[in-house]
Amino acid sequence: MAIATGTYEDKTEEQKAIIEMVRQFVDEQILPNAEEYDHEDKFPEPIVEQMKELGLFGVTIPEEYGGMGLDLTTYTMIVEELSRGWISISGVVNTHFIGSYLLMKFGTEEQKDYFLPKMATGEIRAAFSLSEPEVGSDVQGIKTSAVKEGDDWVINGQKMWVTNGLGSSVVFLLVKTDPKADPPYKGMTCFITEKEAWEHENTGEYAGLNIPPAIKKMGYKGVESTELVYDGYKCPSGRILGGEEDGLGEGFRQMMDALEVGRVNVAARGVGIAQRALELGLRYSQERKTFGKPIAEHQAIQFKLADMATKVEAARLVTLKAARMKDAGERSDLEAGMAKLLASETGKEVVEDCFRIHGGYGYSKEYEIERLYRDAPLLLIGEGTSEIQRMVIGKKLIQRHKI
Ligand SMILES: Cc1cc2nc3c(=O)[nH]c(=O)nc-3n(C[C@H](O)[C@H](O)[C@H](O)COP(=O)(O)OP(=O)(O)OC[C@H]3O[C@@H](n4cnc5c(N)ncnc54)[C@H](O)[C@@H]3O)c2cc1C
């Protein structure tokens, strides 16, 4: 059942055409297959192959490198549509998008020329890695380190929760290069680590890098999240993001910059999953009858639907506002935090309301809402928890309104 999603009036002709194309792809390829991949926790290879053909891995990569050269706003609209289908699909492109953003903004010409064309086609996919077993929110506490030996940097340490940790060919990795730096963030560097360069031709293992079996998760299935264990992994100095001269010690700043656009992206995922829950709630409530009439005619259910639709609309507007401000070159850290907070909480709340509308059937794996119910909580955690967003928003508010 097609229900009007994000209003078309606020889109350019190009955006309308792209969104129409992505929506059709989601309706025909993702929605009919998501349950199967989710239940089997299987990587959706055929869907990803089609996404490569549609150019979805190069949406924001400039045309000179083979991408579409579109802005963050259009990308945000695309992510909403993909997430309406299944947030794991947006998870496959999300870390890739962050990697390409890091390269476009901070990479040397050599790094851009080498990676971006292959990333634009999806020939290689990217992951990014900050989190460690003992550290998520408090990024300055990471322990993974790199020490220079000759022309190489030797990396040791353990990373956690790396989305696309197995299937990606390149990982943007935040490590400590100066353990004595005070404050610690000044001693952090981002390495562009290529796995294949170190692959053993017979065993398929990587020299100095071990990838344990994927972490078993409650939802967000199909796309793998792994640990990465570095033990004497060598990375050439030319693979420091931005080059050794300019990039050494800049990793924290670079990653935080990328997380800002990442937050808008997670917000779009919240809008997408909430939109889908609204659609499912609208449909089920008109089909299911109790006390002689469709439950949609009971005021309590109508009020739920009203709140759900209102929240989805509000979250979408805040998310698009943050994206448009970023595209216009305006400061948007506060807005990105607000969008991430509101849209991810909206995702969880609207999904829960839809689950309640389904009564007992919401608890059955036969119904799509069951998957959404397991997927939605991830958005409260990834790219900064709601508590961390509130800290960011509070700090930025005070900075902007200092008396
Ligand atoms: C499925 C999945 C995929 C992920 N993918 C990636 C990835 O690709 N790359 C990557 O680097 N990371 C990834 N992560 C990690 C994610 O970014 C972290 O889990 C997240 O930042 C929270 O960190 P933590 O889990 O260590 O929680 P903690 O930092 O230990 O926080 C625990 C609780 O304490 C709260 N808290 C922490 N500090 C404060 C404070 N100062 N004030 C108030 N409350 C506080 C938090 O909000 C939370 O409620 C992923 C996580 C998941 C679950």
pLDDT tens per residue across span 44-91: 999 999 999 999 999 999 999 999 999 999 999 999 999 999 999 999
Query: How many angstroms is it from 46 CA to the middle of ligand 1?
Result: 31
137 Cα nearest atom in ligand 1? 29
For ligand 1, say whether the CB of 378 is within 6 Å of any of its atoms: yes
Report the SS3 class of residue 332: coil
For ligand 1, say whether the CB of 128 is within 6 Å of any of its atoms: yes
Q: Output phi, psi for 294, to 5 deg.
A: -60, 140
Contact 216, 35 (CB under 8 A): no
- Percentage with pLDDT > 70 across the chain: 96
pLDDT in tens, 383-394: 999 999 999 999
pTM assigned to the model: 0.95
Report the SS3 class of residue 41: coil
Mean pLDDT of 156-164: 98
pLDDT at 10: 78
For ligand 1, say whether the CB of 381 is within 6 Å of any of its atoms: yes
Does the pLDDT at position 5 exceed 60? no
Residue of the CA atom closest to atom 18 of ligand 1 = 136
For ligand 1, say whether the CB of 7 is within 6 Å of any of its atoms: no
Top mutation candidate among 129, 159, 381 for ligand 1, by most atoms within 8 Å of CB? 381
Mean pLDDT of 128-132: 98
The CATH homologous superfamily for domain 253-400 is Butyryl-CoA Dehydrogenase, subunit A, domain 3 (1.20.140.10)
Find, among 319, 276, 285, the residue nearest to 305 by Cα: 285
Name the fold adopted by 126-251: Butyryl-CoA Dehydrogenase, subunit A; domain 2 (2.40.110)
pLDDT at 124: 97
387 Cα nearest atom in ligand 1? 47
Residues in the chain, total: 403
pLDDT at 7: 52
For ligand 1, say whether the CB of 172 is within 6 Å of any of its atoms: no
Sign, Cα dihedral of 22, 25, 31, 33:
negative
Contact 3, 278 (CB under 8 A): yes
pLDDT in tens, 300-336: 999 999 999 999 999 999 999 999 999 999 999 999 9
Residues annotated as part of the active site: 383
Does the pLDDT at position 370 exceed 90? yes
Contact 220, 237 (CB under 8 A): no
Q: For residue 1, what pLDDT band results from cuts at 50, 70 and 90?
A: very low
What single letter denotes the amino acid at residue 55?
G
* Token pair listed for 311: 């929240």
165 Cα nearest atom in ligand 1? 8
Find, among 101, 89, 106, 109, the residue nearest to 38 by Cα: 89
Q: For residue 203, what pLDDT band results from cuts at 50, 70 and 90?
A: low
Q: Does domain 13-121 have CATH number 3.10.180.10?
A: no
Mean pLDDT of 201-226: 88
Equal CATH topology for 13-121 and 253-400 = no
Segments making up each domain of the chain, as ranges: 13-121, 126-251, 253-400
Contact 278, 309 (CB under 8 A): yes
For ligand 1, say whether the CB of 164 is within 6 Å of any of its atoms: no
Residue of the CA atom closest to atom 27 of ligand 1 = 136
Does the pLDDT at position 197 exceed 90? no
pLDDT in tens, 274-304: 999 999 999 999 999 999 999 999 999 999 9
pLDDT at 207: 85
